[in-house]
Structure 1
């Protein structure tokens, strides 16, 4: 499995994990206590026809809180082992934000003050993780994220020797190493098998920008 060493901020994630796990444990304990009361005591006089709905809502709350704890444990393991892809982290944050957003609306309708406060903590921490994950995914798509297996190339366009274009932002192009000066005058004739070739076979070449007068070259 590929490593994903992305810059997940501990100040955001650790705070969110601790608060979410603690609040979820409180919700699970409260819901379990309410279920125990409904099973051992006759609440028909108090709840009436709503006893079944009360029991079902407590069970659903236990399931949602337990799912949040499991998702947080998975996030902790994957991020600590550098195995958490940004897309998976964003998906997990979206699921938690959606779930606790719906629960928050239901708590507001039920006018349960204590539950509203606890769910606000869960919703706020999940939303913070969602924003953090969205920023990481956005930077990864733009290629500006440092982490994982991403590394800027030294010469990604494969320029040929002697051909240099305008460098792209964020990349470093080494300077040319061949700085030898080449004269515009013609090179001397190559040697023949019996020494240098005859002068007549290779007439002298005048440099560019000169003319011949009285068998002497002068500058223009």
Structure 2
């Protein structure tokens, strides 16, 4: 192996380390400084962000199938993997788009991609704790399942805390303005869902119309 090849290997390993361990742990240890580096030093990685998104989607499916039988009331023989993945992908996309729409009107400094990365980095501790809870759900007794629920709750709380800190830094907001932006984001998400429902209803009506017309033409001429 030549020196150039060795250098390329070291560079690649360094990138993997920084992307999947170095910077994520930096955010977990010092979230304000970490998200500040993501915002102003461009330290964030879309590769890692999509990795977390895919991981959480897989965890959603794993929780449905492999969660301990003592607390798993799902029909594991009828798994809709696409639906389970969408229960993660759709809310994330909805929140990111809703927050971007609101903060754009409120002079927020965060870009669409930065909001997405912020939420994904904030989701990492929840993913890890969900994996721990999934494992424990298969080894603990029914009386000990409280620990599983507690771990999952802590993961959700950490998502909210890290996500809030990240959005404060990314948008360069104060505490009060950030709370207001989050409340308006919820409203924006509801509006987006309503618009999507209208669009789907319209598409369905147009599809039915053309289907009827096609059938009538076929019956008349064929």
TM-score norm. by structure 2 comes to 0.28
TM-score norm. by structure 1 comes to 0.28
Structure with greater Cα Rg: 1
| Structure in which a larger fraction of residues adopt strand | 1
| Structure in which a larger fraction of residues adopt helix | 2
